[in-house]
Amino acid sequence: MTRSIRYLLLVPALLGLACDADDGRPSYPSFDQSILQVLESRNDLKAFTALVKRGGLGEAFEGTQANFTVFAPTDDAIAAAQLNDTAAEANSRVRFLAVGGKQMLNLVRYQDSLKTIKGTTFQVSLVNDKIVLTDHLGNQATVTAGDLQASNGVVHIIDRVLVPPPDEVLEELAQRGGFERFLEAAQRTAANAALYEAGPFTVVAPNNAAMNALGDLKEVSDDVIENLVYQHVFDGSFQEAELGAELRVSKATLPVSFTGTASPAWNLAVVGDDVDLIAMNGYAHELDAVIALPTTVEVTKQVPALKMFGELSESLEADDAKILLPDTFGEAAVDDAKPAAPITVFAPTKAAFDTFFGFVPAVESDEDKLADVFAQHVAAGQATLADLVDGAELYTSSGTITVARDELGTITIADTQGNSAQVLSGDIRTKNGIIHLIDHVMSSTVAD
């Protein structure tokens, strides 16, 4: 009898909790509220609620498209942290305190770490049977209350603000704003994925005004855009003060000076105001100008080993030089038999030309023959060293070039006439393609 009475006493209580919603279904207060509404209903989470809205995540926490587990710092915790977050910083911080899916505390307590919707993790441990979260700096927050269920997830309350790790370089630029044109360019290329790797990298990113000065890039080849992006990327982490210390080589394999005093002049760069942006995989700095990409001919005249190649190309008539070494963004071929930008240039070294002209000295002064020699070293399309895999074929106006690559990574190229050369180095990225250095002139041309 006692059990029956207790049961009957519970029924009204349950019925009181399960009031009818407007559509006639049972309404449970917490389940019918979104995460945002749960946050707004708490007097101790006003500051965090404001942070959510400042970071632009209010709509996500109110929607029904996905479930989240949110670890919300109290007002006292946020006051102690003396936060003064920008909208971008608030977005990053809140995403670091949110986990995908609905995880009640009885599940959280058995985790070693949790991956946040920011893509990073924080550690989870039990201290005196309390759940403790630890960020990358060692800051610890204790879960003081939780399992506040919502229609799209659950909220747990913590007593300290955790610090998110820095974003990757490109994300840091995106959060900062003002670099949309540069980021759009990067997204067109393989450089975008490469810059999410561990690095470290230093990215000197032209701001929107600098990129706008280039004009419309829609018709420019993605390969050339990739060269432009890599001209602004350096291996290693360098603060602004370190940039001008020496001539640095970009991932376009070109020297860059930030001092305004070093040669080559086309690579002079000016650093902007937004510098020393710390990222998870390096540093980012604002540039108020684009670091110019040189043409193939300009590069060959600056690199000592290729200087003869550059000088000889200048001796060609204007039309031949334009056909063989197009020097504008996306320039069309002059005729169907000749490659257009971007191109791959296999440039013989000075020593290779010296040997070649030792056998056929008259070719050096025979412009028609010299143009034929150049044509055999210029292939359509841009092929990086990574693209030169065993069996790959490239096409020049004189025929096919076939690539052989052994297990040690040594690259040899050969044409259909039996000429061959070894690739010594390469991936010099230019305004109209890419250059690789080779150790022989691949030509059967002889003077009359």
224 within some domain: yes
Q: Which domain holds residue 213?
A: 169-287
Q: Please answer whether residues 167 and 202 qualify as being in contact, where contact means their C-beta atoms are separated by less than 8 angstroms.
A: no
Interval 147-157: pLDDT, tens: 999 999 999 99
Do 49 and 174 lie in a common domain? no
Do 63 and 129 lie in a common domain? yes
Region 50-64: what's the mean pLDDT?
A: 91
Most confident of 17-31, 224-238, 333-347: 224-238
Do 405 and 305 lie in a common domain? yes
Q: For residue 106, is pLDDT > 50?
A: yes
Interval 153-186: pLDDT, tens: 999 999 999 988 877 888 888 878 899 999 999 9
Instruction: Lowest mean pLDDT of 191-195, 267-271, 332-336, 371-375, name the range.
Output: 332-336
Q: For residue 437, is pLDDT > 80?
A: yes
317 within some domain: yes
Interval 224-248: pLDDT, tens: 899 999 999 999 988 888 887 677 8
Do 124 and 56 lie in a common domain? yes
Do 227 and 347 lie in a common domain? no
CATH number of the domain to which 66 belongs: 2.30.180.10
Residue 50 sits at φ, ψ, to 5 deg, of: -65, -35
pLDDT of residue 340: 57
CA atoms within 13 A on the CB side of 180: 3
349 within some domain: yes
Q: Which of 287, 314, 343 is the last residue of a domain?
A: 287
178 within some domain: yes
Distance CA 93, CA 139 (A): 14
pLDDT of residue 364: 73
Do 135 and 235 lie in a common domain? no
pLDDT of residue 140: 96
Helix axes 46-54, 87-96, angle to 10 degrees: 120
Contacts with 162 (C-beta within 8 Å, 6 or more apart), sequence order: 71, 73, 96, 97, 122, 133, 135, 139, 141
pLDDT of residue 445: 61
Do 255 and 311 lie in a common domain? no
163 within some domain: no
pLDDT of residue 265: 61
Q: For residue 118, is pLDDT > 90?
A: no
Instruction: Lowest mean pLDDT of 53-67, 101-115, 369-383, 434-448, name the range.
Output: 434-448
Region 254-282: what's the mean pLDDT?
A: 76
Q: For residue 311, is pLDDT > 90?
A: no
Distance CA 334, CA 320 (A): 10
Do 325 and 388 lie in a common domain? yes
Burial 273-293 (b: 16+ CB within 10 A, else e): ebbebebbbbbbbbbeebbbb
- The structure tokens listed for 395 are 């096409």
The DSSP bridge partners found for residue 344 are: 379, 434
8 within some domain: yes
Q: For residue 331, is pLDDT > 70?
A: no
Distance CA 323, CA 334 (A): 6
Distance CA 442, CA 419 (A): 5
446 within some domain: no
250 within some domain: yes
Q: What mean pLDDT, rounded, does the chain reach?
A: 82
Do 98 and 225 lie in a common domain? no
Model confidence, pTM: 0.68
Distance CA 411, CA 384 (A): 12
Please give the residue that has the higher pLDDT: either 402 or 278.
402
Distance CA 87, CA 84 (A): 10
Do 300 and 401 lie in a common domain? yes
Do 24 and 40 lie in a common domain? no
Query: How many domains in the chain?
Result: 4
Q: For residue 298, is pLDDT > 50?
A: yes
153-158 and 68-73: which strand pairing?
parallel
Do 96 and 188 lie in a common domain? no
